[in-house]
Amino acid sequence: MTLGSCIEQYACTHIDFKSASVFESVDDMKIISSDYFHLVFMKRNWNSNVVIIIDDFDKMCEANDDVKISCLANFRCIRNSRYNYAIGSIIAIGTSSRILDLNPITMVTSPFSFSETFQNPNFTFNQVQDLYRKFATDYDFTIDPEVIKDIYKQTSGHAGLVCLFGHFIQNKLLEKIGKDNVLTFSSWFTFSINSLQKDILDHATYRKMIEMLNKTNAKPAIDLLRTRFLGFFDNVRIFSDEGEKLEFLVDEGVLIEGKNYLSEFKMSSAFVDGLIQRQVIPNVYKSSPESAVPQKDDDDESLDILNILQTAIQFFDKDIISNAVNFANNLYTGSQKNMCAPRESVYSTELNRILVNWLIKKSGYEVTGRHLVKSYGDKEGKYKYSSNIVIITEHQKTVLELLATATEKELNEHSERVLEYAEKLSVNDIWLVHFTREDGYANQKLQWPSDNRINVVHFFHDSKFENVLMNVRYIDSSGTIKYIVDQVIPLQS
């Protein structure tokens, strides 16, 4: 579709031609070339100024240089002779990094004059709640308040995502609502696990974001994202000279700038974090087992989750784990208070990466990571998230709840939460996966949740991630509870 045809299409529904211009109807405009574009928008043809807003203008980057030069040169001509035209302004909307890089090498002057990007403010929770309540009223259904809360937590109130999630509810879920006419949290939660990421990639903005992040020249920025930000939702201050990488990640909508300090950034939302962990990180960092995915010795072809975890940890990036202590926020090992331990997000990002590369790309199973709220801060939007990974096959649905260097209290809290989570997803294969750097942990009394439905794996490792011990309580195929004590896990060299 050409620019002229787009203008004609939208003008026919938004302009009263007889009162606004000399044209009787949109048919009289006929914007079939750049010359006609100039003629149509001459000042003598309009009774007032016209503002042209072009969304997704960064798509122009995909055009050849001749098209770019023609379009941008015509805009520049109108700008330089603005008193001859009815066009008051042309507003081009798109990812700033691409619009800024739009000019072909052969074109000297830019048609646009701007020196900084504009960041739309996010919705508050009250605004999201009001929007979805009105949406439910307009479409005559009831929406569970927990659905609205989850949408806000996953999007951080990002206006585009909030509206897209509503679009998916309208087109994917309303037809499945039961006789009670209620969109339940369980229905929304299942959809968000099974389909949401796939559906979001049908939207050009997020598809382009993923394409840009997967490009080879984006690798330095992805390295920074992986080591400092992924899976972590508090502000991070960057003191080193990483300005170009940070600017790229902000422009792509991955990071947002903090409000309190210079050089402070954080992930734009939990949903974008999960999308990148599923669609980018496994592509950039490809190491994973080459062996067949282990299955249990029974007739239902269910996965051997314990064996999968044992194998996956062998492919963890040792440098990522050992260096993560440099960025740990007040998470200390037990007997040495000055010895930091990696955050939960470090382990979850590595495990998710390996499972995606192994279980999805080599075996066709589904792996979805999701961040759940585990505690609340004092201010709106200040949440603490826990990491979950859901593995889905034709015969099995498994949830892995991850935690790092946890206390007994934290272990019990995670146990309660994963049971609630599993019930919403109709999961009966439940695992707590505990990674700990706590010195002396292997010599202490192991902690096991009181509910025996939960399988538990404790992985203890040293500071350099060169030695790993595994302790397990699990339910075998016959329903018998079994234990594995201090098993050494061999690691890849």
Structural domain boundaries in the chain: 3-100, 125-200, 285-488
pLDDT at 179: 87
Whether residue 29 contacts residue 11, with contact meaning beta carbons closer than 8 Å, is answered with yes
Q: What's the pLDDT band for 377 if we cut at 50, 70, 90?
A: very low
pLDDT at 208: 87
Q: What residues form DSSP beta bridges with 54?
A: 92
Calculate mean pLDDT across residues 207-236.
Answer: 93
Angle ∠(277,376,411) on CA atoms, nearest 5: 70
Calculate mean pLDDT across residues 280-302.
Answer: 89
pLDDT at 53 over 70: yes
Least confident of 89-103, 248-262, 368-382, 432-446: 368-382
Contacts of 337 (CB under 8 A, 6+ apart): none
- For 373, the token pair is 């709220």
pLDDT at 97: 55
Per residue in 165-182, pLDDT tens? 999 999 999 998 988 999
pLDDT at 240: 77
pTM for the full predicted model = 0.79
Q: How far apart are CA 491 and CA 316, in angstroms?
A: 8
The 3-state secondary structure of 17-41 reads HHHHECCCCHHHCCCCCHHHHHHHC
pLDDT at 378 over 50: no
Whether residue 395 contacts residue 367, with contact meaning beta carbons closer than 8 Å, is answered with no
Calculate mean pLDDT across residues 78-83.
Answer: 84
In three-state secondary structure terms, 458 is strand
DSSP label at residue 169: I
Per residue in 116-175, pLDDT tens? 556 678 999 999 999 999 999 999 999 999 999 999 999 999 999 999 999 999 999 999
Calculate mean pLDDT across residues 398-424.
Answer: 89
Which residue, among 256, 360, 307, has the nearest Cα to 470 in the 3D structure?
307
